[in-house]
Structure 1
Amino acid sequence: MTVPPDASISLDRASGPATVMTRDEAIAHVTSTNPLFAVEETTIRDIPHRVFVNAPGNLRQLLREAVSAYSDHELLVYESERWDYAGFASEVNRMAHALTKDLGIQPGDRVALAMRNFPEMPILVMAIVSVGAVVVPLNAWWSEEELVFALRDSEVRVVFADGPRHEALHTFTAEHALPLIGVRDAVGQITYRELLCGSTDSHWPEVPIAADDDFAVMYSSGSSGRPKGVVLTHRGAISTIHSWRMGKELLSLMDPETAAAVSESPSALIVTPLFHVTALHAMFLQGVSLGAKLVLMYKWNPEGAVDIIQREAIQRFVGVPTQSAELMAAASSRGATLESLESIGAGGAKRPAAQVEQIAKQFPGASVATGWGMTETNSLGILLAGPDYLENPDAAGRLTPPLQEMRIVDEAGQEVPQGEVGELTIKSPSNMREYLNLPEETRATLVNGWLHTGDLARVDADGLIYIVDRKKSIIIRGGENISCLEVEGALHQHPAIAEACVFPLPDERLGEAVGAAVYLREGADIDRDGIRAFLGQRLAPFKLPEYVWLWDKPLPRGGTDKLDRKALQRRYQNRHQA
């Protein structure tokens, strides 16, 4: 679930004077009159798709166009280090030539990045894709075994790693003669800095890159087993970024006053990991296309985030809902109003409905935003923000135009009537090419160009989409279906609960029982009975958790930073209530 940083209002029906266009009118006007967003139909892997005619052909071209437009604007900030667009591109190009000349990287080769949010990460991403190679961002929270699995699975040619990951991978890379390049605090035979200093050619690489060439293999959470390598193309990423850029053009026709208040080249704080699409696509790649200033946090710290927002006049903030809650608490404790913020978005997980109004009240100058997207869609999907979100805090949003198509289908693949629940499927040039080395799973997920998301959803008469639950996250208790998200939403309404995750547990009599793990805020004074009593005022009796576990630390998360429902289920499935 992701939201681009410039989503300051959802794209729904127009407000204001009668001359202002409706959503559909604005889409038709922009795509027919603005050459930048002209659309045509083409065939991609034997499937017809709508595509942008004049978007950049690949990510190297995206960066070149940004440098041409914003050369002396600041692009990247990390602590005391700063890069403008020209300086960033120079380092990208020098590293690109080092990859080819010193490390022998060829088009199509895969290069792994195993590190936290250091500035070398986005520089390397662009250097790798600029020579036609494929970037493989590895989850920095993984164990050594998981890291090694991904290196084997993706058959990388080179690995760049920071200190902890360098140490974890040293033995494996040595045994397999795999070059391991040290970044920042890593101690090794070859370092990023040495490669950069030895490369003086800052000209753009000239390797041909086709729109449908691969640009990345990004690993999804793989809740049913091993992580799955999601293969993404240049066209897929560009289609996503260009769709988001078009949003500002639509706003100017639907709500000129709101559009005028949205910064042309915003400043954004990146607090989620760059090995996920929320940070890589919605923040970094889109930010580059807008001429944004992007400030990196190595590791999330709410007090540190308040300092950065004030010091750098940050306008865009996107994080998981817990980070929004912690930012509110840190700002409140320090009396900080954070008046520079224009948008506070949620990515990685659904924001509890109760949090929407809380953010709007504490930061009245900021638009509250949410969205849905997947690694498999290059982060493109559904958006909702502004007054529309405040009025519909349980909704996921509306489909982002103009390339995507959506169907909500039953088990047989037939569309369900409006308002009924089915599986959300998406057709778009942003969709993944395949799951790496998993042809059967690819065929099951991509059916005639339609991506089966595994999310259960419904759509109302106004086009608002509601994500009801994951297809496999329904608890069936005595024949009654219980939505995990519904119970979690009720739990999040309690002020003492910072995080909640609900999961099914085996029950001899009813088949399944409801289990819940809750992370309590510091100083919270509530027990299991109090939680059940609170829920009893909001949910039907059969939906109440029979088992509740109280945590004094954040709940575990999976590979894409979502709460790890499967891990909690495994942990507690054979245990009595603690």
Structure 2
Amino acid sequence: MYQELRDTWDELTQPGQMFELTTISIRGADDVKAFANIPGSLRDVWEMTAGHGQADYLVYEDERWTYEEAHQQVQSIAAWLTANGVQQHDRVAIAMRNYPEWMLAYWAVISMGAVAVGMNAWWVPEEMDYGLADSAPKALICDKERLQRFSEIAANHPDIKVVAVRCEDELPAGVVSWSELISADPVKQTVEIDPDDDACVFYTSGTTGRPKGAQLTHRGCVTNLFAVVFANMAQSMAAAKVSPPVETDEAPVQQAAIIATPLFHVTANNCLAQALTLAGGKLLHMYKWDAGEALRIIEAEKITTFTGVPVMSREMMNHPDYQHRDTSSLKSLGGGGAPVQPDLVDKIDKNGGNAAPSQGYGMTEVCGIISAVGGAYFVDKPKSAGLVMPTFDIKCVDEDGKEVPLGERGEVCVKGAQVIKGYLNRPEATAEAIVDGWLATGDIGYLDDDGFLYLVDRAKDMVLRGGENVYCSEVETVLFSHDDVAECAVFSVPDDRLGEEVGAAIYLTAGKSLTAEELREFCKVHLSAYKIPRYIWMMDEQLPRNASGKFLKKELQKELLVVDAS
């Protein structure tokens, strides 16, 4: 079946085909792989979807928007922003739950050639303050909870126009209601957008204590969108060659997906929402994750695709309602943002009904996916991250930056049109991460003889908690800022539900007394909840270190027991 996949792969990328490949020069890098026949901007993609007309697009509880209604509101929002001083290349921050307004605001900002800044909805006021200062948006569109947090730092950002979404309370002076935006006269946007203009800025947890704003271009986002389409098409066509599907008289159903992970991440926004939008699909929004509610929605709305962090798929299949809900509409069940464990692949294959297991591996710095795998290929190679998308060159390198032979482990580096422009206001970080177009992913992996990628370790000092990156240095920076902390080391702790949790070993300044709970309370002011260590070990002795003075985190991970943590 791998020969059929490779043949299909090659057929789809030949000259004259939908996914014809070419090479371009971009930001000083030559011979960068790209699709030859894709739209030039996300605005072009959005306009292509107007033909879906009266089909359902956004659904939240008992509220629905058709594609026609969404296009009208997007034009109204863009017109209001333009009338209120937002111009092409200006930034507009979006800070809210996964409400339908998130997508409407996103498409409006994109359509006018402005830049959408995805604000992490977990951020506490201090983190939000940093993000706003770093991205300098002209406007902030936020829900009630984020508006409350902004009110604590509003004095630091007096020039930002603030729009409140789903806020029934009396609005503070100067804050505009969302209803005013969607009531504006709609105006179709016609500015010329360059493929290498910024489309959005998504923040990644920082390796040096502060998040970095990744600059995702229109070219990168559109390339990723079509890579997602390509991956699904190539694997389904190849599978059909191996085992031809049985023909039926059933009418095609509308694709539908639950937006279960945050829209300020590429997994939900770039890989799922944009792909379903292009296909005329239906996006179901939830107030917060609940496995039982997700199963109800799958049955009621005939969901065809579910992509969340793997723990979500696991929780649905373990839920007592799973056997009593009709999930037969599901064709794909899997995850992104964290590895789908082999046992879950097997469980979906055997107990997922019509759903096939699927997984995408990627990162913010490539606007979405690097590789993907699904169906029989995933079942056969359950530890694999899949085939690398055709718009990437890939290599694994040793500590000296030299490429290692096929099958040997090294840091995964990729080069292609999806690689971000860089990090906002961080030229040094950009230069360190991207060299001659090659992005160092920070993941250790290897390629097998079939070209499938396997990830085995992490070069970056990071915890991957339920799909959220937590960089240990950021947490350590906060812990060290406490006067009573003399030494600390933050590291990952295996967790059955979330994959990994945040752990910290603490050695106090002589004569000081501090509890783990007091330390967590201190962290709450500076860190989002998911970054605060779940496991804290208060050490009686100084932390072990090597000859150069670095703490031996791997030794701590091996020796410290969860049962001994506070």
Pairwise same-fold verdict (TM > 0.5): yes
1:185-224 aligned at under 5 Å gives the runs 185=167, 187-188=170-171, 189-197=175-183, 199-201=184-186, 203-224=187-208
Q: Among residues 55, 73, 76, which one is paired with 2:38 in the alignment?
A: 55
1:130 aligns with 2:111: yes
Provide the rounded CA distance (Å) in 1 between the counterparts of 2:86 and 2:26: 27
The 3-state SS of whatever aligns with 1:310 is: helix
Larger deviation, residues 31-40 vs 233-242: 31-40
Name the counterpart of 2:209. 225
Counterpart of 1:159? 140
Give 1:260 shift. 6.1
Q: Partner of 1:553 in structure 2?
A: none
Counterpart amino acid of residue 25 in structure 2: T
Q: Indicate conservation of the 8 Å contact 1:455/1:469, yes or no.
A: yes
Rounded to whole Å, the distance in 2 between the matches of 1:215 and 1:444 is 23
Give 5+ residue unaligned stretches, structure 2.
477-488, 499-515, 517-522, 541-563
1:105 pairs with one of 78, 86, 92: 86
Q: What TM-score, normalized to structure 1?
A: 0.78
TM-score (norm: length of structure 2): 0.80
Higher relative contact order (CA 8 A, sep 6+): 1
Q: Give the match for residue 388 of structure 1.
A: 377
Q: 1:153 to 1:329 in 2, by over 3 A?
A: same
Residue aligning to 1:456 = 444
- How far apart, in 1, do the equivalents of 2:110 and 2:63 lie? 24
2:99 alignment partner in structure 1: 118
Query: In the aligned structure 1, how far is the partner of 2:490 from the partner of 2:28?
Result: 45
Gap change, CA 1:114 and 1:255, over 3 Å in 2: same
Q: Does 2:316 align with 1:327?
A: yes
Query: Using the alignment, how far apart are the partners of 2:59 and 2:392 within structure 1?
Result: 34
Report what 2:354 is aligned to: 365
Partner of 1:41: 23
Across the aligned residues of Structure 1 and Structure 2, the Cα RMSD in angstroms comes to 3.4
Aligned residue for 1:280?
269
| Partner Cα separation in structure 2 for residue 255 and residue 80 of structure 1 | 38
* Structure-2 separation of matches of 1:299 and 1:279: 14
Letter in 1 for 2:85: G
Q: Which residue of 2 aligns with 1:444?
A: 432
> Higher mean Cα deviation, 104-113 or 344-353?
344-353
Gap change, CA 1:398 and 1:264, over 3 Å in 2? farther
Amino acid at match of 1:314: I
Cα distance between partner residues in 1 of 2:382 and 2:496: 22
- Distance in 1, matches of 2:416 and 2:289, equals 33
1:213-362 to structure 2, matched below 5 A, reads 213-251=197-235, 253-256=237-240, 265-330=254-319, 332=321, 335-362=324-351
Q: Percent identity?
A: 33
Matched positions, count: 493
Letter in 2 for 1:407: K
Contact 1:173–1:180 (Cα < 8 Å) also in 2: no
Q: Which deviations, in whole Å up to 9, do the C-alpha atoms of 1:22-46 show, x marking residues without a partner? A: 3333233222354432232221112
Query: Aligned equivalents of 1:513 and 1:165: distance in 2?
Result: 28
Unpaired runs of 5+ residues, structure 1, are 1-11, 15-21, 475-483, 493-498, 506-511, 522-548, 550-555
Shift of 1:208: 1.1
CA distance in 2 between counterparts of 1:433 and 1:37 reads 23
Please give the secondary structure, in 1, of the residue aligned with 2:201. Answer: strand
Contact 2:255 2:305 in 1 (8 A): yes
Instruction: State the 1:200 CA deviation.
Output: 1.6
The residue identity in structure 2 corresponding to 1:63 is: W
Tell me what 1:421 maps to.
Answer: 409
The CA distance in 1 between the partners of 2:439 and 2:492, in whole Å, is 31
**Deviation at 1:87?**
1.5
Structure 2 counterpart SS, 1:231: strand
1:397 is the counterpart of 2:369: no
Letter in 2 for 1:31: T
Partner residue, 1:80: 62
Q: In 2, distance between residues paired with 1:213 and 1:396?
A: 30
Rounded to whole Å, the distance in 2 between the matches of 1:430 and 1:153 is 23
Matches of 2:497 and 2:236 in 1, distance apart?
43
Query: 1:431–1:50: structure 2 CA closer, same or farther, 3 Å change rule?
Result: same
Residue aligning to 2:49: 66
> Is this contact kept in 1: 2:447–2:453, CA < 8 A?
yes
Give the corresponding residue for 1:8.
Answer: none
* Corresponding letter in the other structure for 2:202: M
